[in-house]
A and B are shown apart, each in its own frame.
Chain A
Amino acid sequence: MNIKESRVDQIGGIILGIFSLLLYFVIIPLEVGDTSKFGVSPRFLPQILALLLMFLSICQVISGYKKRGQEDQKIYTINPNELKLILKSLGVFIIYIIALNITGYLITTVVALAVFMFLYGQRNIKRIVLVSVGIPIAIYLFFTKALTMVLP
């Protein structure tokens, strides 16, 4: 899938514009405490930055609009196969982080490394076993024995 630069600028600008409005009117009032006891309020700079973001997002939408008809604009490519692999990697990563707390570092890391290697195309079983077992053990010994740190 190919997306033209002008489209990226317009969509990006609109998303950032909505975010800056949310930031100014919802997130800052809810998430930033307000007190003027210490001179300038803690909301002062976040509000200025939200306004600046709003201004920049408008600039970006305008810039995208101006680029519309240009032929030499940049094309951003999203390959479905690449996207699939990245989403799979992200999925394995999320499961790995969740499992770390449940099954502990060693078992989870051995399995995660093997899955990642297989996912990226490694089919040599000997290498998969060697790396996915050897590296986690080496890291474990280094962190727990040499650095006396506790791993989950």
Chain B
Amino acid sequence: MLELLFEGFINVLFTPASLFALIGGVVIGVVLGSIPGLTATMAIALIIPITYYMDPVQSLIMLMGAYNGGTFGGSLAAILLGAPGTPAAAATVADGLGLALQGKAGKAIKMALSASVTGCLFSCVILILVAAPVARYALKFGPAEYTVLMVFSLTIIGSAAGNSMTKGLIGGVLGLLFGMVGLDRIASVPRFTFGVIDLAGGIDLVVMLIGLLALSEIFVQVESVAGGKLDAHLPPPKNSEDDKLSLKEYLANFKTIMRSAAIGCGIGALPGLGPTLASYIGYDMAKRSSKNRSLFGKGALEGVAAAESANNAVCGANLIPLLALGVPGDAMAAIMIGAFMVQGLTPGPLVFREAPDVVAGLYAGLILSNILLFVFITFAYKMFTRVARVETTIIFPVVFIFCVIGVYALNQSMTDLWIMLLFAAIGYVLTKFGYSPATLMIGFILSPLFEVNLRQALLISGSNPLVFFSTPITWVFWIITVVSVYKIVKSKKAAEEA
């Protein structure tokens, strides 16, 4: 395998067309990912027609470069505008923008970059070493195991609830309810569609995120305009240190980065979960084990590192089920299956025998895309941070327009724009009165995964609730959940006493 991997590196680095494909993929991914509304998945969907004219390795590395670049690109908008460029960057918003508002946008971007690259490289190593065994283990996950995993994931709501657990839980319940809008995934009957045909497919996560996080945040910030604040959108760095990330700072967060990378790998290897969930779990775990817990949500470098390492670690890890089993882990992986098929290849166990050079090239391309991403952003980040120096009277209206066009471009639907506006209003009211939009979002993301698996498990078991305690994996997740709830309650009590 190592020999093939070496050949893969040589092939990518010394074939100009391959190198251009990789650079093009990364740059397109970063640019599209940094525009709120345009996701990394959309970036690779838009690149697919170009790849028809390329050989398999060039085609796949361009797509992987775009996916990796797009996943990172989302954090640029999250840090500089407070609007997640992609859903995966939603967990980065609070701390990224918090740091940017302290004049540390450059430091936040560099931490996001270092954590993303480390997370993705770690997942590449895992992908190369354990693709097949991990995928075989992931196959043992049935609906019952997924349901208990989702129950564990729901404990994030308690952790993200802020000062009031009741308000946080209310946000989570509302999020779970919003996630049920559309055709029921099992019985195919409409739920909460109110006769609107466009709602049959449910509420798009991106539409909701942009409304709830980006637009509502601008409404909150617009208040400062009313207060007569007309200076730059973000303050300049107070000193040169604010714009740099020292090796000491990186190493201080290394443990967090590696923990998140491991979480991202685990989530990425399980089909259907995706980078958004990974970033929230990574962030939550970092918050729980941090000594500076109170800084989280206000500008913690550790928070940015945790979220970014976890979401980019998914990039490599979701190739594990794709390559080893032919099972797409998320929408991006499904598009990758299409890209394989365009090249006459079928992802799955046979691809290792039929086209080992393509697999090796893909591994090499993914690793090189991280190096390219690092070099590109290191040189180009100042261009992005210029956004920070633009006046609020310009930046707010421009972000408004970007949100509208980005959301419209998703499905070319005017209904999406009204839904975005509705969530902007909800987000504004929640933020204004101390409720947590983050818990609403977590509930929304987990809702379909939780409900479908719960009902499938009950359907298979003849409505026997003991199915959720039927395997060792479910027991492991129950134990983790109980420990997690205990820790949350303990930390909330400690915070109240303090």
Segment of B260-268, B284-292, B399-407, B475-483 engaged in the interface with chain A: B399-407
Q: How far is the CB of B161 from chain A (nearest CB, A)?
A: 11
Of residues 450 through 483 on chain B, the ones whose CB sits less than 8 Å from some CB of chain A are: 451, 454-455, 458-459, 463
Bound form: Cα–Cα A135–B398 in Å = 8
Q: How far is the CB of B413 from chain A (nearest CB, A)?
A: 11
Bound form: Cα–Cα A5–B190 in Å = 38
Residues of A within 8 A of B432 (CB): 76, 78
Q: Cβ of B391 < 8 Å from any Cβ of A?
A: yes
**B167 touching A85 by the CB < 8 A rule?**
no
**B400 touching A116 by the CB < 8 A rule?**
yes
Bound form: Cα–Cα A34–B391 in Å = 53
Residues of B within 8 A of A41 (CB): 187
Q: How far is the CB of B126 from chain A (nearest CB, A)?
A: 34
Q: How large is the interface on A (under 10, 10 to 19, 20 to 34, 35 or more residues)?
A: 35 or more
| Complex partner residue of B458 from A5, A40, A120, A136, CB under 8 angstroms | A40
Segment of B94-102, B176-184, B309-317, B364-372 engaged in the interface with chain A: B176-184
Q: Cβ of B421 < 8 Å from any Cβ of A?
A: yes
- Given the known interface contacts A33-B191, A122-B394, the answer about A53 and B170 at a Cβ–Cβ threshold of 8 Å is yes
**A37 touching B187 by the CB < 8 A rule?**
yes
Of residues 348 through 373 on chain B, the ones whose CB sits less than 8 Å from some CB of chain A are: none
**B173 touching A32 by the CB < 8 A rule?**
no
| Complex partner residue of A85 from B223, B401, B414, B458, CB under 8 angstroms | B223
| Complex partner residue of A120 from B225, B435, B459, CB under 8 angstroms | B225
- Given the known interface contacts A33-B191, A76-B434, the answer about A60 and B170 at a Cβ–Cβ threshold of 8 Å is yes
Q: How far is the CB of A135 from chain B (nearest CB, A)?
A: 6
Bound form: Cα–Cα A33–B176 in Å = 18
Residues of B within 8 A of A96 (CB): 404
| Complex partner residue of A31 from B164, B193, B226, B400, CB under 8 angstroms | B193
**B180 touching A33 by the CB < 8 A rule?**
no
Residues of A within 8 A of B393 (CB): 117, 120-122
Q: Cβ of B392 < 8 Å from any Cβ of A?
A: yes
Of residues 57 through 113 on chain A, the ones whose CB sits less than 8 Å from some CB of chain B are: 57, 59-60, 63, 74, 76, 78-79, 81-82, 84-86, 89-90, 93-94, 96-97, 100-101, 105, 109, 112-113
Q: Cβ of B46 < 8 Å from any Cβ of A?
A: yes
Q: How far is the CB of A82 from chain B (nearest CB, A)?
A: 4
Residues of B within 8 A of A93 (CB): 400, 421
Residues of B within 8 A of A60 (CB): 166-167, 170
Of residues 17 through 38 on chain A, the ones whose CB sits less than 8 Å from some CB of chain B are: 23, 27, 31-35, 37-38
Bound form: Cα–Cα A63–B455 in Å = 34
- Given the known interface contacts A42-B184, A42-B186, A117-B394, the answer about A86 and B401 at a Cβ–Cβ threshold of 8 Å is no
Residues of A within 8 A of B169 (CB): 52, 56
Which of B191, B412, B463 has its CB near the most chain A CB atoms (within 10 A)?
Answer: B191
Q: How far is the CB of B399 from chain A (nearest CB, A)?
A: 10
Q: How large is the interface on B (under 10, 10 to 19, 20 to 34, 35 or more residues)?
A: 35 or more
**A97 touching B418 by the CB < 8 A rule?**
yes
Residues of A within 8 A of B192 (CB): 27, 31-32, 46
Q: How far is the CB of A32 from chain B (nearest CB, A)?
A: 5
Q: Cβ of A49 < 8 Å from any Cβ of B?
A: yes
Residues of A within 8 A of B405 (CB): 105, 109, 139, 143, 151
Q: Cβ of A125 < 8 Å from any Cβ of B?
A: no
- Given the known interface contacts A86-B223, A89-B222, A150-B412, the answer about A42 and B400 at a Cβ–Cβ threshold of 8 Å is no
Residues of B within 8 A of A86 (CB): 219, 222-223, 428
**B434 touching A143 by the CB < 8 A rule?**
no
Q: Cβ of A1 < 8 Å from any Cβ of B?
A: no
| Complex partner residue of B455 from A12, A32, A39, A139, CB under 8 angstroms | A39
Q: Cβ of B10 < 8 Å from any Cβ of A?
A: no
Q: How far is the CB of B433 from chain A (nearest CB, A)?
A: 5
**A127 touching B191 by the CB < 8 A rule?**
no
Q: Cβ of B230 < 8 Å from any Cβ of A?
A: yes
**B170 touching A16 by the CB < 8 A rule?**
yes
| Complex partner residue of B189 from A5, A33, A44, A101, CB under 8 angstroms | A33
Further contacts, 4 of them, CB under 8 A, given A33-B187, A45-B451: A31-B192, A35-B187, A120-B393, A139-B401
Query: Can you list 17 A-B pairs with a CB-CB distance of less than 8 A?
Result: A8-B434, A32-B192, A33-B187, A40-B454, A45-B454, A53-B173, A56-B169, A57-B170, A60-B167, A60-B170, A82-B222, A86-B428, A105-B405, A112-B401, A116-B397, A121-B393, A122-B391
